């Protein structure tokens, strides 16, 4: 479940860019060498002039009125997770590293201070009587403002330091016999990716995290490895200033769920407006919450607000994520037009059309008593999805005549 993170990095993005733009082979020695040299020399130059960038997985937050950068994702941790170490086993290691960072600000800091910042659930009793069926939708959820475009501003394309540009241009022209024009173009490409994936600390607001997301386009290729796909650099507001304060005052699970639902909504929409979607594994690592709880929170958000949360399950139809399809069909059967459904649910018309076509196809086959396993083969879809559609059909249509009446209204001609 964490394997995809192995391919998400600045280096892989730079490599992919060189492969596509300059026709390097995927295993090109030169591409690897120039990427390594360029990043090392830029790191050294920026360190010399105290220029600070955040890398993917780093959070800029505030502690005791000081800005502090905390790691929530590191290559070594991902490697451990892909080799069989569980999330619960790696979590104490992350907390310990954050503790050491905070102790540089105040030597008396404890693990409780760390958990107030990143792991609020661990400070609450394992069970406190909370039940979802008693949970009322918080007023702040489903706010239309969250659906507005989130503008991420990068620094202007910066010049490569002269000393770095000259040295690496000489290397490419003398050792590899490239033209100076092509050599300089390669360096500018690497610099552009560095700016996109590692924004300046001064350009970020407190509470923002740098991340790499999955391209949100529906038909991006899935049969290639993550390091070959188009990667989307993100700047996400993981906490607002008010939430950093609120996190220290959470005293029960109801409050924590309200707190996290609001943040999940914002994070998912900010990523989507930047061209990416975040899966449960992304949210698990960002929010310090296990994947099962994240899945529950995402489903509950859709159930409570009837707004489609942009995730791989809803935008790319990965996994089951059936609840959003049910909401679409419910609104259709209540008489809403597709454009009205789009406005109410924040879902795209193409997907709405697809869900309704699938629903009507299942309804026709159900009408003629086609077995479920055969429906699945005819429609080339999973049996669980067919079963979900049948559940909706049985809840809306009491008899055959009502099914026929509905289909005729949709313009379906039946014998």
Which of 305, 331, 361 terminates a domain? The answer is 305
**What is the reported pLDDT for 220?**
47
Residue 315 lies in a domain: no
For 222-266, the pLDDT digits (tens) are 444 444 457 899 999 999 999 999 999 999 999 999 999 999 999
Indicate if 232 and 348 belong to the same structural domain. no
Does 121 share its domain with 229? yes
Q: What pLDDT does residue 354 have?
A: 84
Residues 138 and 166 in one domain: yes
* 234/380 same-domain check: no
CA distance 259 to 270: 17
* Domain co-membership, 170 together with 255: yes
CA distance 174 to 415: 78
Instruction: For residues 372 and 267, state if they share a domain.
Output: no
Same domain, 121 and 224: yes
Report the pLDDT value the prediction gives residue 221, as an integer from 0 to 100: 45
**pLDDT value at residue 347:** 79
User: Has residue 54 been placed in a domain?
Assistant: yes
- Residue 314 in any domain: the answer is no
Query: Distances in Å between the alpha carbon of 303 and those of 142, 326, 351, 356?
Result: 11, 10, 18, 19
| Contact call for residues 257 and 130 (beta carbons, < 8 A) | yes
Question: Which pLDDT tens digits describe the chain residue by residue (415 residues)?
Answer: 888 888 899 999 999 999 999 988 888 999 999 999 999 999 999 999 999 999 999 999 999 999 999 999 999 999 999 998 998 899 999 999 999 999 999 999 999 999 999 999 999 998 888 888 888 888 888 766 666 655 555 555 678 999 999 999 999 998 888 999 999 999 999 999 999 999 999 999 999 999 999 888 755 444 444 444 578 999 999 999 999 999 999 999 999 999 999 999 999 999 999 999 999 999 999 999 999 999 999 989 988 888 888 888 777 665 555 567 788 888 888 888 888 888 777 777 888 888 888 888 999 999 888 998 999 988 888 888 888 889 888 888 888 888 888 888 888 877 6
262 within some domain: yes
Q: Based on the domain organization, do 100 and 240 belong to the same domain?
A: yes
Computed from CA positions of residues 23, 27, 30, 35, in that sequence, does the dihedral angle turn out positive or negative? positive
Same domain for 191 and 164, yes or no, is yes
The Cα–Cα gap between 377 and 371 comes to 10
Q: Please tell me the pTM assigned to this model.
A: 0.83
What would the 3-class secondary structure string for the chain be? CCHHHHHCCHHHHHHHHHHHHHCCCCCCHHHHHHHHHHHHHHHHHHHHCCCCECCCCEEEEEECCEEEEEECCCHHHHHHHHCCCCHHHHHHHHHHHHHHHHHCCCCCCCHHHHHHHHCHHHHCCCCCCCCHHHCCCCCCCCCHHHHCCCCCCCCCCCCCCHHHHHHHHHHHHHHCCCCHHHHHHHHHHHHHHHHHHCCEHHHCCCCEEEEEEEECCCCCCCCCCHHHCCEEEEEEECCCHHHHHHHHHCCCHHHHHHHHHHHHHHHHHHHHHCCEECCHHHHHHHHCCCHHHHHHHHHHHHHHHCCCCCCHHHHCCCCCCCHHHHHHHHHHHCCCCHHHHHHHHCCCHHHHHHHHHHHHHHHHHHHCCCCHHHHHHHHCCCHHHHHHHHHHHHHHCCCHHHHHHHHHHCCCCCC
Tell me which residue of 38, 40, 42, 45 sits closest to 18, measured CA to CA: 38
Burial class (CB in 10 A: 0-12, 13-18, 19+), 103: middle
- With respect to residue 128, please indicate whether it lies within any of the assigned structural domains: yes
The dihedral built from the CA positions of residue 253, 254, 255 and 261, taken in this order, carries a sign that is positive
Q: Which of 260, 276, 305 is the last residue of a domain?
A: 305
The pLDDT of residue 38 is 97
Check whether residue 196 and residue 234 sit in a common domain. Answer: yes
Q: Is the residue at 274 inside a domain?
A: yes
Assess contact for 236 and 56: CB atoms under 8 A: no
Q: Of the residues 256, 271, 305, which one is the last residue of a structural domain?
A: 305
Q: Give φ, ψ of 233 to 5 degrees.
A: -75, 140
Residues 143-165: pLDDT tens digits?
A: 666 666 555 555 556 789 999 99
Domains identified in the chain, total number: 2
Cα separation, 191 vs 42, in Å, equals 9
Quote the pLDDT of residue 243.
Answer: 95
Same domain for 89 and 222, yes or no, is: yes
CB 373 within 8 A of CB 383: yes
Q: Which two tokens stand for residue 5?
A: 């993170």
What pLDDT was estimated at residue 348?
Answer: 78
| Structural domain boundaries enclosing 188 | 3-305
Closest of 243, 249, 252 to residue 131, by C-alpha: 252
The single residue listed with the structure tokens 């099962």 is 292
- Which among 274, 41, 300, 334 is positioned nearest to 166, based on CA atoms? 41
pLDDT of residue 4: 85
d(CA 132, CA 125): 17
Q: How far apart are CA 110 and CA 96, in angstroms?
A: 10
Would you say residue 415 lies in a domain? no
Instruction: Flag whether 310 is in a domain.
Output: no
CA distance 249 to 83: 37
User: Following CA atoms 227, 268, 189, 3 in sequence, which dihedral angle do they give, to the nearest 10 degrees?
Assistant: -10
Same domain, 30 and 113: yes
């Amino acid at each position: 479940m964490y394997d995809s993170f192995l391919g998400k990095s600045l280096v892989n993005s730079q490599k992919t860019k060189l492969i596509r733009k300059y026709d390097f082979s995927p295993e090109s020695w030169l591409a690897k060498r120039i990427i390594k040299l360029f990043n090392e020399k830029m790191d050294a130059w920026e360190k010399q002039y105290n220029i600070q960038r955040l890398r993917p997985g780093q959070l800029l937050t505030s502690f005791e009125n000081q800005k502090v950068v905390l790691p929530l994702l590191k290559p070594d941790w991902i490697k451990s997770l892909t080799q069989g170490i569980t999330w619960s086993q790696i979590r104490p290691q992350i907390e310990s590293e954050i503790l050491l960072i905070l102790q540089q600000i105040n030597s008396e800091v404890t693990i409780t201070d760390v958990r107030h910042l990143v792991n609020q659930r661990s400070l609450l009793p394992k069970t406190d009587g909370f039940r979802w069926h008693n949970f009322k939708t918080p007023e702040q959820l489903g706010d239309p403002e969250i659906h507005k475009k989130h503008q991420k501003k990068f620094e202007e394309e910066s010049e490569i330091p002269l000393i770095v540009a000259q040295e690496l241009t000489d290397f490419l022209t003398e050792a590899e016999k490239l033209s100076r024009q092509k050599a300089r173009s390669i360096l500018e490409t690497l610099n552009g990716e560095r700016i996109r994936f590692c924004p300046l600390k001064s350009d970020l607001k407190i509470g923002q995290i740098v991340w790499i997301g999955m391209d949100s386009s529906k038909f991006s290729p899935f049969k290639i490895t993550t390091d070959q796909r188009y990667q989307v650099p993100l700047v996400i507001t993981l906490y607002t200033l008010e939430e950093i304060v609120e996190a220290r005052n959470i005293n029960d699970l109801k409050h924590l769920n309200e707190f996290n639902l609001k943040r999940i909504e914002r994070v998912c929409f900010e990523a989507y407006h930047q061209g990416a979607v975040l899966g449960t594994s992304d949210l698990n690592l960002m929010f310090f919450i296990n994947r099962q709880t994240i899945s529950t929170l995402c489903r509950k958000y859709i159930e409570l607000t009837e707004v489609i949360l942009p995730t791989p399950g809803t935008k790319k139809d990965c996994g089951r994520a059936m609840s959003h399809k049910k909401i679409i069909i419910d609104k259709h059967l209540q008489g809403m037009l597709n454009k009205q459904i789009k406005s109410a649910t924040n879902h795209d018309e193409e997907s709405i059309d697809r869900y309704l076509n699938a629903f009507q196809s299942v309804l026709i086959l159900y009408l003629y008593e086609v077995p479920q396993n055969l429906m699945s083969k005819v429609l080339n879809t999973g049996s669980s999805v067919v079963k979900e559609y049948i559940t909706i059909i049985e809840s809306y249509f009491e008899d055959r005549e009502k099914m026929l009446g509905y289909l005729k209204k949709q313009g379906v001609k039946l014998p």
